[in-house]
């Protein structure tokens, strides 16, 4: 797997980093999404931002487990995230061949509204400040700029 572009930090302040590899099983994915939510809430994001970040990470993990690794528990998904200033940076990478996002049907068009596929990508783009993929298409990097509760007055 390609190594993270996020640099590791051992501190638990505004510049914290976590990285974990999980088997391609949704039970492990859900557990890590829950752990992520606990950390971002401790970090001080609002409830609305917590929901947006939860949904985005969940969709990225679902895509990596189901589509990228085909649900093969022998393959792994790398999840890493970092808190940097007011940004939450997330990377999710699978061991699959990747995909070309231009081939994913737009779920907002009339002809695709009842077809499965594309909704998770749409939701991630909606909730995050930026969503980018590596050239291979097996790693998504997402960023959301947050206003933390302790900074609100």
CA 23 to chain centre: 16
Average pLDDT, the chain: 85
102-114: per-residue pLDDT in tens?
777 676 677 767 7
CA dihedral over 20, 136, 27, 29, signed as positive or negative: positive
CB-CB neighbours of 80 under 10 Å: 20
Supply the pLDDT for residue 118. 72
Of 135, 94, 101, give the one whose Cα is nearest residue 117: 101
Q: Is the pLDDT higher at 85 or at 100? A: 85
Of 10, 146, 19, give the one whose Cα is nearest residue 80: 19
Residues 15-151, CATH architecture: 2-Layer Sandwich (3.30)
Judge contact between 68 and 62, C-beta under 8 A. no
Task: State the average pLDDT over residues 3-11.
Answer: 40
Which residues, listed in sequence order, are joined to residue 93 by a DSSP beta bridge? 78, 139
Task: State the average pLDDT over residues 59-67.
Answer: 95
27-37: per-residue pLDDT in tens?
999 999 999 99
- Residue 27 has which token pair? 């039970």
Q: Is the pLDDT higher at 122 or at 26? A: 26
Determine phi and psi for 76, rounding to 5 degrees. -120, 160
pLDDT at 15 over 60: no
């Amino acid at each position: 797997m390609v190594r993270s572009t996020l640099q590791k930090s051992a501190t638990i302040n505004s510049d914290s980093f976590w990285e974990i590899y999980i088997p391609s099983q949704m039970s492990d994915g859900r557990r890590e999404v829950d752990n992520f939510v606990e950390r971002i809430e401790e970090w001080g994001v609002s409830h609305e931002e917590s929901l947006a970040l939860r949904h985005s990470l969940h969709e990225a993990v679902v895509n990596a487990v189901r589509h990228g690794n085909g649900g093969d528990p022998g393959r792994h998904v790398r999840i890493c995230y970092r808190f940097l200033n007011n940004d939450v940076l997330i990377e999710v990478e699978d061991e699959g061949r990747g995909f070309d996002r231009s081939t994913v049907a737009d779920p907002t068009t009339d002809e695709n509204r009842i077809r499965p596929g594309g909704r998770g990508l749409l939701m991630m783009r909606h909730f995050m400040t930026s969503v980018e993929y590596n050239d291979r298409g097996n790693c998504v990097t997402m960023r959301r700029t947050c206003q933390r509760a302790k900074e609100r007055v």
